[in-house]
C-alpha cells in the first residue's frame, strides 16, 4: 500500500513544481490538467504525510523513553506516544478508504428523473415534494438546477419531471437517490382521513460526455412541438419544444423548458446520451459482479429505498436501516445526514470487499 502512496507523493511534488513552469502556467489547458490531477491525489498524499508524521512522533517518543531519566520529559513523551498510537490506526483506515477505486462518474453533473408511480394524483403530488426537496438540496450545496421537462397535473404535482443538477461532485452525492420512494400520509384528495401509501420512482444518471457514448444521427427522429403547461395551456406560440426518438431502442426524450429550440435539443440530447450510457453501464456491472446488488447506489428503480411517513414525521432508509424523525427538515432539502450515512456504508462495504480479496 505504502509503495503505491510513495509514487503518488512524488507525483504530487512533481506536479506542484510544474505549475511554476512558464510553459505550463501560460497554457490554460496544461495548467488545468495539472491542477485536476493534483486535486485527485492531494487527499491521499496529505493523509499519508500526516501518517508519516505520527509514525515519526511514535519513534521519537520511544527514543526519549528509552534514553531519558527526567520524569517530566518522560511523562510528556509518554503522553505524545499514547496520543500518536491512538490516532495511527484511524489514519491507516482513512488511507485505505482513500485508495479504494473511485467511481469515474462521481465528479459529473446529474440528470434526475422523478415519476409518479402507484397512487394516482397523490403520487404525482409527492413527486412534486421530492422535486422541491432536491431543488432545495441543490441550492444549499451551490449546485445549479436546470429543468429539462415537466408533465404537471392540475393540482400542482408532476406525473414526471426531469432536471439537471450541475456542479462538481453532484453525482457522488445524489447517486444514492435512485430507487422507489414510498410516502405514507392522508392525501389532500382523501376526505375520510385514511393514510394511503403511494410510490414515486427516482432515476439518477451521470451526465454523459461525448467521449462516453456516440449516437448515429441516422438513429434519431427529431420532432418539434409547442411547449404547454398544466391543462394543455400553451406557454408560447412557437414550436420550440423538442422530442427525440432513438429508433434502435424506442427511447423518447422531450425537452420544453427553454424558449430556444437549439437549447431544448441540446438538453434533450444530454438526457438521451445519459440514459443510453446508463444502459451500457448496467450491462457491464451485471457482467462484472453480482456483489454490487448488496451495495447501496445500485440505481435500480424497482428497489424500495426509502419511506416518508407523515403521521409519525418519520423517514426510513431501508438499505441501511436508518430512521430519522425530522420529515419536515428532510423535505426542505436537509438530506445530508442520510446521504453521508449512505456514503459511509458504501465505503465500508467496498473496504470489506477489498480486504476479503487480499
Q: What is the mean pLDDT of each run of 10 residues along the chain (358 residues)?
A: 83 92 89 89 91 93 90 91 91 82 83 88 93 96 91 86 92 93 85 85 85 80 73 52 89 82 86 84 60 43 85 96 96 95 85 64
155 shares a domain with 203: yes
Position 342 scores a pLDDT of 93
Domain of residue 62, CATH code = 1.20.58
Domain boundary (98, 130, 159) is at: 98
User: Is 104 contained in some domain?
Assistant: no
Domain boundary (68, 98, 128) is at: 98
Distances (CA, A) of 198 to 145, 182, 203, 213: 26, 6, 17, 36
**For residue 234, what is the DSSP state?**
B
| Residue 222, beta-bridge partner list | 244
42 near 8, Cβ under 8 Å?
Answer: no
User: Is 20 contained in some domain?
Assistant: yes
149 shares a domain with 245: yes
User: Is 75 contained in some domain?
Assistant: yes
User: Is 103 contained in some domain?
Assistant: no
219 shares a domain with 76: no
Position 321 scores a pLDDT of 94
Rounded distance between C-alpha atoms, residue 147 and residue 114, angstroms: 12
Position 330 scores a pLDDT of 97
User: Is 354 contained in some domain?
Assistant: no
137 shares a domain with 15: no
The number of domains in the chain is 2
Closest CA relative to residue 241, chosen from 343, 144, 147:
147
Q: List the grid coordinates of 61.
A: 517518543
309 shares a domain with 226: yes
136 shares a domain with 28: no
User: Is 120 contained in some domain?
Assistant: yes
Domain boundary (98, 132, 156) is at: 98
What is the domain range of residue 77? 2-98
147 near 161, Cβ under 8 Å?
Answer: yes
Position 140 scores a pLDDT of 95
158 shares a domain with 78: no
34 shares a domain with 172: no
Quick check: helix, strand or coil at residue 298?
coil
265 shares a domain with 194: yes
Domain of residue 280, CATH code = 3.30.70.1660
128 shares a domain with 38: no
User: Is 187 contained in some domain?
Assistant: yes
181 near 318, Cβ under 8 Å?
Answer: no
338 shares a domain with 262: yes
269 shares a domain with 292: yes
Position 170 scores a pLDDT of 93
User: Is 59 contained in some domain?
Assistant: yes
Amino acid at each position: 500500500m505504502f509503495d503505491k502512496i510513495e509514487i503518488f507523493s512524488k507525483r504530487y511534488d512533481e506536479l506542484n513544481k510544474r505549475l511554476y513552469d512558464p510553459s505550463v502556467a501560460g497554457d490554460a489547458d496544461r495548467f488545468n490538467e495539472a491542477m485536476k490531477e493534483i486535486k485527485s491525489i492531494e487527499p491521499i498524499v496529505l493523509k499519508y504525510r500526516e501518517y508519516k508524521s505520527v509514525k515519526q512522533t511514535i519513534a521519537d517518543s520511544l527514543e526519549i523513553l528509552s534514553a531519558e531519566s527526567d520524569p517530566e520529559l518522560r511523562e510528556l513523551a509518554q503522553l505524545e506516544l499514547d496520543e500518536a498510537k491512538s490516532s495511527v490506526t484511524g489514519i491507516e483506515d482513512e488511507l485505505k478508504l482513500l485508495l479504494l477505486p473511485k467511481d469515474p462518474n462521481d465528479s459529473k453533473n446529474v440528470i434526475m428523473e422523478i415519476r409518479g408511480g402507484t397512487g394516482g394524483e397523490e403520487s404525482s403530488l409527492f413527486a412534486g415534494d421530492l422535486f422541491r426537496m432536491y431543488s432545495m438540496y441543490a441550492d444549499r450545496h451551490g449546485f445549479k438546477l436546470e429543468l429539462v421537462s415537466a408533465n404537471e397535473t392540475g393540482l400542482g404535482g408532476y406525473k414526471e419531471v426531469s432536471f439537471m443538477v450541475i456542479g462538481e461532485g453532484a453525482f457522488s452525492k445524489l447517486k444514492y437517490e435512485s430507487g422507489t420512494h414510498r410516502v405514507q400520509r392522508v392525501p389532500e384528495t382523501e376526505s375520510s382521513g385514511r393514510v394511503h401509501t403511494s410510490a414515486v420512482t427516482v432515476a439518477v444518471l451521470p451526465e454523459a460526455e461525448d467521449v462516453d457514448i456516440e449516437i448515429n444521427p441516422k438513429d434519431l427522429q427529431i420532432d418539434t412541438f409547442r411547449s404547454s403547461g398544466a391543462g394543455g395551456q400553451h406557454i408560447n406560440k412557437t414550436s420550440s419544444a423538442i422530442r427525440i426518438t432513438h429508433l434502435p431502442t424506442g427511447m423518447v426524450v422531450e425537452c420544453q423548458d427553454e424558449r430556444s429550440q437549439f437549447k431544448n435539443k441540446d438538453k434533450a440530447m444530454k438526457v438521451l446520451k445519459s440514459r443510453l450510457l446508463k444502459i451500457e453501464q448496467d450491462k457491464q456491472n451485471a457482467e462484472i459482479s453480482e456483489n454490487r446488488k448488496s451495495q447501496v447506489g445500485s440505481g435500480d428503480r424497482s428497489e424500495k429505498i426509502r419511506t416518508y411517513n407523515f403521521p409519525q414525521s418519520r423517514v426510513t432508509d431501508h438499505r441501511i436501516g436508518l430512521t430519522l424523525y425530522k420529515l419536515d427538515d428532510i423535505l426542505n432539502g436537509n438530506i445530508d445526514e442520510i446521504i453521508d450515512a449512505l456514503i459511509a456504508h458504501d465505503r465500508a462495504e467496498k473496504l470489506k470487499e477489498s480486504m476479503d480479496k487480499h
